[in-house]
């Protein structure tokens, strides 16, 4: 009987391992913060706290680790140049804080500086044919048509590094997401146009905001307006 229990226990362990391997990759993308050299002239400056997007990403990463377990594959892609430029106005090492999140949650941290680098990883990863994207979360600036990784960082109130909805079919491969993938943009306005284009390009529905979002300290971003809502654009 004890031998039978051992065999059953081993089978359960192997089954659990197989399930963990089959869950796919969990990806969190974090855009860069704005610079005060541009924002200080505005009535409502963006990113007074440089950790707006990093903090929200950490909260989501913690959720993913709790939900999918210690062996789940979590990859964090961070727009490097934005934090390197913001570091010049701060009095702390921003990258040591970012790396501490990596260490705490045992995840794979990748820095990117171009949209091409980001899209290459999304398309191919370690082996995208077998290892589909199970969840995808974007934290950063956005408007109804694009992710803006460096909004008001290189130039005031503008962006030089972005992923636009009209580029999605050319830059992202169809089939990189798992069939039941959860995809969400936590930036502003995404569901007003880009979510629908994302689905057309990738086959994965992306939840986004109708209206603006507000980044918080101890919770994930929230909708600003009472008329705002989370939607896939359909």
Q: How is 148-179 classified by DSSP, letter by letter? A: ETTTTTSSTT--SSEEEGGGHHHHS-TT-EEE
pTM check: above 0.85? yes
In the block, which residue shows the tokens 């044919």?
Answer: 129
Contact in structure between 75 and 110 (CB atoms under 8 Å): yes
Top CATH class of 23-231 equals alpha beta
User: For residue 16, what pLDDT is reported?
Assistant: 43
In the block, which residue shows the tokens 């081993």?
Answer: 10
Assign 18 a pLDDT band (cuts: 50, 70, 90).
very low
Percent of the chain with pLDDT over 70: 91
205-217 per-position pLDDT tens digit? 999 999 999 999 9
- Pick from 102, 59, 105, 98: which is nearest to 79 by CA? 98
Tell me what the pLDDT averaged over the chain comes to.
Answer: 91
Angle between helices 52-68 and 94-105 (to 10 degrees): 10
């Amino acid at each position: 009987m004890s031998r039978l229990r051992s065999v059953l226990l081993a089978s359960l362990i192997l089954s659990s391992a197989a399930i963990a391997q089959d869950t796919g990759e969990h990806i969190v993308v974090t855009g860069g913060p704005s610079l005060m050299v541009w924002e200080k002239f505005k009535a409502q400056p963006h990113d007074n706290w440089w950790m707006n997007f990093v903090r929200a990403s950490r909260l989501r990463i913690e959720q993913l680790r709790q939900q999918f377990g210690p062996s789940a594959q979590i990859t964090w892609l961070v727009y490097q140049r934005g934090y390197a430029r913001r570091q010049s106005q701060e009095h702390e090492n921003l990258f040591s804080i970012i790396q501490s999140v990596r260490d705490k949650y045992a995840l794979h941290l990748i820095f990117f500086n171009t949209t091409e680098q980001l899209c290459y990883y999304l398309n191919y990863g370690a082996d995208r044919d077998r290892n589909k994207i199970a969840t995808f979360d974007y934290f950063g600036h956005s408007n109804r048509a694009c992710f803006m990784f460096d909004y008001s960082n290189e130039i005031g109130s503008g962006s030089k590094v972005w992923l636009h909805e009209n580029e999605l079919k050319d830059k992202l491969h169809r089939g990189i997401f798992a069939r039941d993938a959860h995809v969400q943009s936590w930036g502003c306005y995404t569901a007003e146009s880009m979510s629908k284009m994302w689905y057309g390009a990738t086959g994965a529905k992306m939840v986004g905001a109708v209206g603006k979002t507000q980044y918080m300290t101890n919770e994930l971003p929230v909708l600003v307006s009472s008329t705002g809502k989370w939607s896939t654009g359909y």
